[in-house]
Structure 1
Amino acid sequence: MNASDRTPADLLRSALATDPARPLVTFYDDATGERVELSAVTLANWVSKTANLLQGDLAAGPGDRLALLLPAHWQSAVWLLACSSVGVAVEIGGDPADADLVVTGPDSLDAARACRGERVALALRPLGGRFPQPPEGFVDYAVEVPSQGDRFAPFAPVDPAGVALVVAGGELTAAGLVEQARADAEALGLTAGSRLLSGLSYDTWEGLSAGLFAPLAAGASVVLCRNVAELGAEGLEKRVESERVTHRAL
């Protein structure tokens, strides 16, 4: 990655410029059998569309706080990078009542209703499918995002010194997040081309780093596994082989 990268969105742009076709995030849900593989260009397209939704339709901007009530999932990775593109701070599992807007999965809709700002709901269905019945009081992400623009330009420059992430009570600026992700990548032994399989949740920095930010900082890729315990030891080893995994975080 480039030494000049100072935000997570910068890291994604560098990945896109280096090798747009390579798999960047491969997601499994071992409770449902879902598998989704996103190349750098596909992930960047989702991020651009989501950032346009966030900045345009939801009127979010630098300094706003978004409560993210989502599990480790490829769409969670999209929202994390879209918020970085706009300059919105993400609070993992944050209190919706204290947030400017909330993004939630189907299991936390009731809690998310406490947000007095914009509310976005994700069905987390295979292939990014929509809710069969849209939840009242929420924007259905899968309905709104496809029509958004494929290119994104922020209305205001993103400040690398601004808060980008709040997780487990700790805050990271955009630049601090990139610095920590690089340090974690080095500690894990990740280099360009590495494939890290992560079964960690997204409710800690360790899970977020292994499941997205450290591989992105290293020019590596992640195999993100939700409900990986369902696989069993033999199934896990088969996945490691089939996905050409070089590192693990479980």
Structure 2
Amino acid sequence: MRQLTETLTDAVLDPILARDPAGPRITYYDDAAGARIELSALTLANWAAKTANMIRDEFGLSSGSRVAVLLPAHWQTAAVLLGCWWAGVEVVLHADPDAELALVTADRIAEAGDIPEVAALSLDPMGMPVRDLPIGVTDYASSVRVHGDQFHPGGVGCALDGESVSEVLDKARKSAARQGFTAGDRVLSSSSWQTPAEVIDGFVAVLVSGASLVQVANPDPAAEERRIGTERITARRQG
């Protein structure tokens, strides 16, 4: 039985890091921009650790704090979610007035409202910073790079929208079984991550099954057949 002190990130990443740290874990396409980025489990863990260290050391948050994540389905969002869960903070997917930090795209800064700390992501393929940010808004790309790529969790709170780590894991495992995901699968998806159910079904379920994710933004239907072959797709996100 897993201990209650284990974070959601430990639960989903540790088995993958032990089995296949260098294999592709998230492959991200943006067909509108012509971008393709691939991260191994180890690289994803390093980004998540940097994010967790930033949350704890730069923003002073700890287990039980709440973080609003206002981001699309993207490889950097994956790092943000895993970083939040490693830091033991609760992720909410809306501008909760009780949140202490909001992680947002530049066009959603205003949605953060009165949340005291805001960090903006450009989601640029080359990791470029957001230009002309308002005073008081942190640039994620510039800030996260200075933090360490190892993280030692210090506690566990709720994981996602009021649900515990065990509740999210249980839902993710059931979702993976329902969708037929198994270790070694390459899962093709263009689904959004705007609700807890979408995050669980389209992201956590893939990782907890041991599969890898091919996430496509602005999908070009003409590219799909070729992508299925080149990426060796074996499963699709259902629903």
- Alpha-carbon offset, residue 69 of structure 1: 0.8
Separation in 2 of the partners of 1:244 and 1:7? 31
Sort the Cα spacing of 1:7 and 1:187 in 2 relative to 1 into closer, same or farther, 3 A: farther
Q: What is the percentage of aligned positions where both structures have the same residue?
A: 42
- Counterpart residue type for residue 31 of structure 1: A
SS in 2 for 1:172: coil
- Counterpart residue type for residue 163 of structure 1: C
- Alpha-carbon offset, residue 244 of structure 1: 0.7
Deviations 1:149-196 (A, max 9, x none): 111113x322xxx32112xxxx32111111111111111111110011
Separation in 2 of the partners of 1:74 and 1:238? 21
Deviations 1:104-153 (A, max 9, x none): 101101222431x2111111111322123333221101111111111111
Partner of 1:16: 17
Partner of 2:98: 98
How high is the TM-score relative to the length of structure 2?
0.92
- Counterpart residue type for residue 240 of structure 1: I
Partner of 1:205: 196
- Alpha-carbon offset, residue 8 of structure 1: 2.3
Q: Is the counterpart of residue 226 in structure 1 residue 214 in structure 2?
A: no
How high is the TM-score relative to the length of structure 1?
0.88
Separation in 1 of the partners of 2:126 and 2:18? 26
Q: Is the counterpart of residue 184 in structure 1 residue 183 in structure 2?
A: no
Separation in 2 of the partners of 1:210 and 1:173? 16
Q: Is the counterpart of residue 66 in structure 1 residue 54 in structure 2?
A: no
Partner of 2:118: 119
Query: Does the CA-based 8 Å contact 1:211-1:224 persist in structure 2?
Result: no
SS in 2 for 1:46: helix
Separation in 2 of the partners of 1:209 and 1:23? 20
- Runs of 4+ in structure 1 off by over 2 angstroms are 3-8, 132-136, 204-207
Structure 2 counterparts to residues 1-250 of structure 1, below 5 A: 4=2, 7-10=7-10, 11-95=12-96, 97-115=97-115, 117-154=116-153, 156-158=154-156, 162-166=157-161, 171-228=162-219, 231-232=220-221, 234-249=222-237
Q: How many residues align?
A: 235
- Unpaired segments ≥5 residues, structure 2: none
Query: Does the CA-based 8 Å contact 2:168-2:200 persist in structure 1?
Result: no
